[in-house]
Amino acid sequence: MFANFVVPDLLPAAPEIFLAFMALAILMIDLTVKDGRRTLTFILTQLTLIGCAVIQAYTINGEVTYTFSNMFVDDLMADVLKIFLYMTVVTVLFYSRAYVTDREALSKGEYYVLALFATLGMMVMISANHFLTVYVGLELLSLSLYAMVAMNRDSVASTESAMKYFVLGALASGLLLYGMSMIYGATGTLEITAIQERLAAGAVNKSVLVFGLVFLVSGLAFKLGVVPFHMWIPDVYHGAPTSVTLLIGSAPKLAAFAITMRLLVSGLISMAPDWQGMLTILAVLSMAIGNLAAIAQTNLKRMLAYSAISHMGFMLLGIVTGIVSVDGRFALNPFAYSSSMFYVISYVMMTTGAFGMILLMSRAGFEADELDDYKGLNKRHPWFAAIMLMLMFSMAGVPFFVGFFAKFSVLQAVVATNNIWLAIVAVLFSLIGAFYYLRVVKLMYFDAPADDAPLVIPTSMNLLMSANGLAVAFFGIFPQSLMELCGVALTRSL
């Protein structure tokens, strides 16, 4: 029965195995913890993520390695994205520490265990080379996030947003699964790289494949949160506890970028003319509706939710222009893909800081998520006002912050493929978007404070927020190293 069983190479999946083991161990250890602050659980969670980063760095060899019957791939793109993923989740949990401790409904060991399982789901998604692996990773992430959004059971807003997230998430998962099944029916394989080989051979049913592609792109669009599959984002961002909103709004964007690259570029490059048109429409609509709707918001979390929609639309522009037709054959443009990867990493860095600032300003019984809560912040704490200014300027694309170079590199890729109209549209909507970011700066520096209470900030959070803000400024002045890292990672992986 087991004569043909081949023992898989476990080394490429060592970080995933370690994280799964530690998450289960922390779940058991937490049963013995009597401390209401869950200090031991928090420390073990952070050490686990740091351990994953060390293991990941140790296993990097720059080669593309397949294991588990080609269902799992370890390449440089996966290595880089996973290391940024660990750093992001560590930062998110540090930012969330005081917020979670002040709220009894969240201060439970399950909060940290669910965060670890969500991270494991993202890791699996990043390295997936098989439709089943993609789906398992996606559902592990989604189910963990549904539970985290609903943890504050006494909050009507949290319960409502969890229900919306669950119902719409289930619908999106169904779309994705249906698209995968149609592509399987057309190609006869679930392995992503094998799909491209079947397409190149030409022995496929093209009409069934196009229908499958539509459902697949729809499922991906939901996970990226782009128009018209964006309905869940503002309500979930607003209703979820801010610490959970921070997690939803940051790290999963890295995983969503990875599976978009795996499915569309690695698996369906022969269908590029079809999905490029779809992504172009999604990108333009996302930039338009995201930026215009954000102007009307008075709640900072909802404003950042619509901002996320517009940013993901901008990121898609690099993926759209990453494949060009040369003499009837498709050629990859690694610069376009590296610009999208640079953009999504920069966005995660910026949004982590922005939601971290909301957590920093919040206290027991008070959510600092209204724009008016930031009036006169410069008088209350000039340094944090300066950090928020850097984050808002960066998101708006003001030189010389990392957000400017992220937008600039994507626009360069768009212009290089002669899509001038697309670049003009992107610039116009970025100018519109600058308004609501600069409004936050105006409130901080030119309005009288609504609350004169001094800000009492833990030293660890003070240092981390400072590092986050300075990183946005540093990579804005010296973006070359990060851009080159993204370029090398994608060149060696595609």
pLDDT in tens, 256-282: 999 999 999 888 888 888 889 999 999
At 2 the pLDDT is 53
CA-closest candidate to residue 206, choices 114, 261, 268: 268
Q: What's the rounded Cα separation, in Å, for the pair 24 and 19?
A: 9
At 327 the pLDDT is 62
pLDDT digits (tens, 9 = 90+) for 195-217: 888 888 776 777 888 889 999 99
At 1 the pLDDT is 47
Q: Are 302 and 234 in contact (CB under 8 A)?
A: yes
Q: What is the 3-state secondary structure (H, E, C) of 312-381?
A: HHHHHHHHHCCEEEECCEEEECHHHHHHHHHHHHHHHHHHHHHHHHHHHHCECCECCCEHHHHCCHHHHC
For 399-459, give the DSSP string.
Answer: TTSHHHHHHHHHHHHHHHTT-HHHHHHHHHHHHHHHHHHHHHHHHHHHS--S--PPP---H
> Which tokens go with 153?
């059971």
β-bridge partners, 363:
366
At 3 the pLDDT is 54
Please report, for residues 131, 216, 261, 379, 415, the alpha-carbon distance to residue 189 in angstroms, rounded to integers and kept in the order given.
9, 15, 18, 62, 36
Q: Are 344 and 394 in contact (CB under 8 A)?
A: no
At 400 the pLDDT is 85
For residue 492, with 0-12 CB atoms within 10 Å meaning exposed, 13-18 middle and 19 or more buried, which class applies? middle
Query: In sequence order, what are the residues at sequence separation of 6 or more whose Cβ sits closer than 8 angstroms to the Cβ of residue 365?
Result: none
Query: In sequence order, what are the residues at sequence separation of 6 or more whose Cβ sits closer than 8 angstroms to the Cβ of residue 73?
Result: 12, 64, 65, 66, 127, 128, 129
Backbone angles phi, psi at 87, to 5 degrees: -60, -40
Of the chain, the percentage scoring pLDDT greater than 90 comes to 56
The amino acid present at 108, given as its one-letter code, is K
Positive/negative CA dihedral, 444, 446, 450, 455 = positive
Q: Are 486 and 74 in contact (CB under 8 A)?
A: no
Average pLDDT rounded to a whole number, residues 234-244: 91
> Which tokens go with 320?
């759209």
β-bridge partners, 46:
none
pLDDT digits (tens, 9 = 90+) for 287-346: 999 999 999 998 999 999 999 999 999 999 989 988 776 666 667 777 889 999 999 999
At 365 the pLDDT is 63
Which 8-state DSSP code applies to residue 271? G
pLDDT digits (tens, 9 = 90+) for 133-185: 999 999 999 999 999 999 888 888 889 999 999 999 999 999 999 999 999 98
Please report, for residues 252, 289, 316, 439, 473, the alpha-carbon distance to residue 313 in angstroms, rounded to integers and kept in the order given.
15, 10, 5, 22, 23
> Which tokens go with 419?
């899509």
- Could you identify the residue written with the tokens 């399987």? 184
CA-closest candidate to residue 459, choices 38, 98, 49, 107: 98
At 254 the pLDDT is 93
Q: What's the rounded Cα separation, in Å, for the pair 403 and 393?
A: 8
Over the chain, what is the mean pLDDT?
A: 89
Average pLDDT rounded to a whole number, residues 387-406: 92
Q: What's the rounded Cα separation, in Å, for the pair 85 and 414?
A: 27
Of residues 335 and 472, more confidently modeled: 472
Neighbour count for residue 447 (Cβ, 10 Å)? 16
End-to-end alpha carbon distance in the chain = 37
At 151 the pLDDT is 87
Which 8-state DSSP code applies to residue 104? T
Model confidence, pTM: 0.93
Of residues 333 and 127, more confidently modeled: 127
